[in-house]
Structure 1
Amino acid sequence: MIILTERATFSVTDYGAETQSEHVQTEQFQAALNACRDNNGGTVVVPAGQFHIGSIRLYSNTRLLLKSGAVIKGSENLGDYQTFGEEPGIRYLHDDYFVKAWHLPPYYFHAIIAAYDAENITIEAEAGAIIDGQDVFDPDGEESFRGPMGMVFARVNQLQLKNYTIKNTANWSHVIAGCTDVRATDVTILAGHDGFNLHHSNRIEIKNCVIKSGDDCLAGYDVANLSVHDTVLNTACNNMRIGGTNILIDRCLFTGPGEYPHRSENTFFTHAMFKWYAADADTIKADGTNIKIENSIMYDAQKLLTYDFNNKEIMQNGRPLRELSLIGNVIGKIKETSKFLGNGEPVKLRIEGCRITPPDNQPLLMIDDMVELIFDNVTFTTPTVIARKGRAEVPVSGYITREVI
């Protein structure tokens, strides 16, 4: 008999889950989570051992603790996953253009672990615990192969993610949508698709994480008050594909090529280190302001930046970017010219205190007359030019104290 007490602990094995079993243990995990909910909260423990599960749902005031040696594997049976009749509020799921272009199914946001309209949720692990999505294949999923997400959190207030490894997710590792006060610390993401997707979320801190993903490391539009520090961003897509306000990336390593492949293209090269994200298929509250990448190493990508406002195909046709600053960064091994185009909307790009090795025999940037480009105490290791649409190129080389283009 299980006695429920305040701040109780609920082991999934007390509710029938068996370690090392090949049988799916979703019911047993959910029973422990439901008991925790009915007790107004507590800790649900996953002990050492291997467990296969489909979709489970966490409720308010729940801490899911994976003990050392615990391995949660996503079921390989697509029928074991569900959305619990909920949606995360990412509206392009219902946009005809993107549904057709990407082959999005209506159950797109099913996942191994989910929580909706909740508060005070923690996913935490002791050393060596792993969540493995097993790259579950879905012929009816996005791009005709992507399966369930790793985790979906929608409209959760006070979300903490700590010290686990999640790998081989069949789609995004983390959907964090419309959440507030999010902290991710010492999380490792290996392979799969996007690392952290942060659509419509506010007050997020990501620190001491390692993200080695097949798709975007950090993604999401309508993001507010995001700080990322001391984190590795390695990808076969974009290190950051982000849109929002008050975003600070500090003391991070942006690096390519990806250790794991971009699965739809089977390529490893990094596309861009920063790519703007703002789609008109969803509501975005503000233009992009106060976005800074500081004191970071940015090394080995096709492009440094991608901004081509009003380009629907790359989801940059929502609210415009107004201000991006690169400050104190070491930037090198960029292979191609970066487009940075306001296309009728003014935007400021400030590059300050950086050391830049530009592409060989190509312009560093292509800008238009809506861009105010400011160099301040910048060192170029080799000469390059700034290409300007409809105007003469501007050569830049050596040490530039200050120049406005």
Structure 2
Amino acid sequence: MTSAVANNGNGNDKRYNITEQGALGDGKTLNTQKIQASIDACAQNGGGTVVIPKGVFVSGALFLKRGVNVELQEGAVLKGSTNINDYPKLNTRIEGHFEPWRVALINGDSLEHVTISGAGILDGSGEPFWKEFYSRREADNKTTNLNVERPRLTFIQHSKDVKISGITFLNSGFWNLHLYHCQEVTVEYCRFHAPSGPKPYHQAPSSDGIDVDCSQGIYIRHCFFSVGDDCIALKGSKGPFAMQDQSGMPVENIEISDCIFEAGGGIVTFGSEATIVRNVTIQRCTTLRPTVLRLKLRPDTPQLYENITMDDITLVDGGAIFKVSPWTQYFDLKGQAPPKAQVRGIKISNVHGKGSSLGEITGHNQATISDILVENVDVTLKSTDFHLGNVQNLRFKNVKVNGKNLPTPEPKTMVKK
């Protein structure tokens, strides 16, 4: 799979330093209007690059325009305001549907040939938002993710040929980078950081690294993830009518390569809201703890996960290899019969290192799981338990666990060695 992203700029070399509009990098002045003025001036004059220089520039929500690149120079910090009212409430895509919710720190709609780059930091100032979430949930355990408004760091939608390079995403209030209905986006040499310690107050809730939502041709390369939720989540719509959702396109043609995963839910997670996810390639990646492959199967949503290839995976005190299982958070059949789900065409090969276990491959009553090949694996595991449901055509070839060759296990078993 190769990227078709070729044009990483708009051809205009004009540069607009935000300090020319009066922005102050003193870590306390709210610069939203001054930075937005730089973006608007750049767009009105034919495009170019908005430059954020060294300094800590506090801001609320910013809205990119066509033809406007953003460069965060070394030592630059674009720091999100901790006042939720600095992020307007607009109808936005969130958790598989649209509703009025807070926008992100950086927002882009219908962009083309745009680059967001540099050695600087996007800092979401997430701690007060996390504390508010945990406080509300402690008071009412039925509190959902969306009951407590929190800003994402970056939201880009309906865009094509976008490159995000070199940026550090830090302490997002909610998801770090959300891509909805985008094509041909490259994310490279970026770092995603949020606390991943014990709950409630040492883990950033909903701090996904990258959420690929109904998008195609997404290339994630040479990135580092240490977050409190999913590292990379492939998302779509949810519920029994999800396949009829005109806003819920398939996630397909995804490439993840040469990345390091220190903390988070998994190298890649399908779901929790998703319908069709296919043609996903992961190669030359290292996990220090997260699960290798996480597939969430919603019993209330018709789903198809297919053509998944993972190759050359290194475990350094890693987690499980598989976590394929039902996911019932916010389960709602809306009075309909349970829909069917299908998982097929998975190949995991050339896996080595130390991990926790083989994990599990199980489905709900309406799920069919088939055609899984595990090949050329040599791992040391703390536990050799393998929880296996009704899986058709599972094949192990040259699989060695704790120095012993492991044959293909039988379905509907729990393998213990």
The two structures have a TM-score, normalised by structure 2, of 0.77
Instruction: Tell me whether 1:116 sits opposite 2:109 in the alignment.
Output: yes
Q: Per-residue deviation at 1:251?
A: 0.5
Q: 1:151-300, aligned counterparts within 5 Å? A: 151-191=154-194, 192=204, 193-221=207-235, 222-242=250-270, 244-256=277-289, 270=290, 272-277=291-296, 287-300=304-317
Give the Cα–Cα distance (whole angstroms) in 2 for the partners of residues 329 and 206 of structure 1.
20
Residues 70, 130 of structure 1: 8 Å contact kept: yes
CA–CA distance in structure 1, aligned partners of residues 301 and 153 of structure 2: 23
1:5-404 alignment runs, 5 A limit? 7-20=13-26, 22-83=28-89, 85-88=90-93, 91-92=96-97, 106-108=100-102, 110-125=103-118, 127=119, 129-138=120-129, 139=132, 142=145, 147-191=150-194, 192=204, 193-221=207-235, 222-242=250-270, 244-256=277-289, 270=290, 272-277=291-296, 287-308=304-325, 311-313=327-329, 319-335=341-357, 337-341=359-363, 343=365, 344-360=367-383, 362-368=384-390, 370-382=391-403
C-alpha distance in 2, partners of 1:366/1:44?
A: 53
Deviation of 1:82 (Å): 2.1
Counterpart residue identity of residue 17, structure 2: S
Indicate conservation of the 8 Å contact 1:365/1:385, yes or no: no
1:147-186 Cα deviation digits (max 9, x unpaired)? 2111001111111101111111111110011110001111
Inter-CA distance 281–118: structure 2 relative to 1 (3 Å threshold): farther
Letter paired with 2:293:
F
One-letter amino acid of the counterpart of residue 374, structure 1: R
Contact 1:88-1:155 within 8 A present in 2 as well = no
The whole-number CA distance in structure 2 between the counterparts of 1:54 and 1:202 is 29
CA distance in structure 2 between the aligned counterparts of 1:44 and 1:13, rounded to whole angstroms: 10
Query: Taking structure 1 as reference, are residues 338 and 331 closer, same or farther at Cα in structure 2, changes over 3 Å only?
Result: farther
Distance across 2 between alignment mates of 1:21 and 1:366: 53
TM-score w.r.t. the length of structure 1 is: 0.79
Deviations 1:308-358 (A, max 9, x none): 35x443989775321211111115322474233374424221101111334
Q: Please give the root-mean-square deviation of Cα atoms over the aligned residues, in Å.
A: 3.0
Distance 1:337 1:203, change over 3 A: closer
Q: Which amino acid aligns with 2:92?
A: E
**Structure 2 residues not aligned, in runs of 5+:** 1-10, 134-143, 195-203, 236-249, 272-276, 332-337
% identical equivalent positions: 22
Shift in CA distance, 278/204, structure 1 to aligned 2, threshold 3 Å:
farther
Structure 1: state its 5+ residue gaps: 95-105, 257-269, 397-405
- Greater relative contact order, per chain length (Cα 8 Å cut-off, separation 6+): 2
Q: 1:171 to 1:118 in 2, by over 3 A?
A: same
2:33 match: secondary structure: helix
> Aligned with 1:357: secondary structure?
strand
